[in-house]
Amino acid sequence: MALARHSHFLAHSSNVNCLRFGRKSGQVAATGGDDNLVNLWRMREKETKNIMSLSGHQSAVESIVFDPAEHKVVAGSQAGSIKVFDLEAGKVNRTLKGHMASTTTVDYHLYGDYVASGSRDTIVKVWDLRTKSCMQTFKGHSSELTAVSFTPDGRWLTSGDQDGVIKIWDLTAGRLLHEFPDHGGAITSLEFNPEEFILVSSAADRTVRFWDVQEFALIGVTPVDNATSLGVDLEACVLLLPLIVEVLESKFELYLSVGVDSGHKLFDAFSPIVKDARDARQYRSRAINLAGEERYES
């Protein structure tokens, strides 16, 4: 099945580095680019509309995430600073400084105003947005951070790096709980099953791995022969690839995005198994994310 293009729009005046959908509605997306801007988009049937352009960073925007209520956007920059944008006011209301290199990944806590960040300085930080302070600093990675993700209950934090190492941190005790060194390439995504303590990781070694984080055990590996995996989303159970998009188990319509230079290509996937992604081969993959499950309930 060939992928059908949902929409094609110019997202930034230069390279697009990151894209995230708001999980609550599934109808808004945020992008960050080399033009130092954060752009907000309304995603509807056959239409993509720019609803806001947020300035404040003085360097390229490298990472981005919505808060659970979609009232804020957190964006990390190439300079290392993190800015929190109030979407109602349309301006910066917090600036967090502490990383010594680019902030490459950010995640928002489900139950409080806490943000996790990872950087090319190999350090993971947890921030309290109410006090604008760094609560915790975790050291132990030997290469730049490529992914961070809070557990569904908010007690732990996972982080992945360029060397393929995954670490799990106990936020209450402030210490390392466990390390998974099994991936042979950079971690590209860390996602939790929202109902079970199952972590799914994708990496540049062309595999997706499934971990039981109660037993700290590897419980499954999905090999991919032809492409490097870009990401996974456990709410829709999908595996994202630059050349192959395989929907493992999904009853939802999906938004799939592939960033290319100064624009994004958006595709819909309706089939349970999508075996032909030749239409996407011409695009260099730079940013990818899925909309939340609420948008696509049957």
pLDDT tens-digit series, residues 209-225: 889 998 999 988 876 55
Structural domain spans, the chain: 14-241
pTM of the model: 0.78
Question: Domain 14-241: which topology?
Answer: Methylamine Dehydrogenase; Chain H (2.130.10)
232 vs 208, more confident: 208
Computed on alpha carbons and rounded to an integer, the radius of gyration of the chain in Å comes to 18
Read off the pLDDT of each residue in 4-27 and give the average, rounded to a whole number.
79
pLDDT tens-digit series, residues 16-70: 888 888 888 778 889 999 999 999 998 776 678 889 999 999 999 999 999 999 9
**Does residue 276 have a pLDDT over 80?**
no
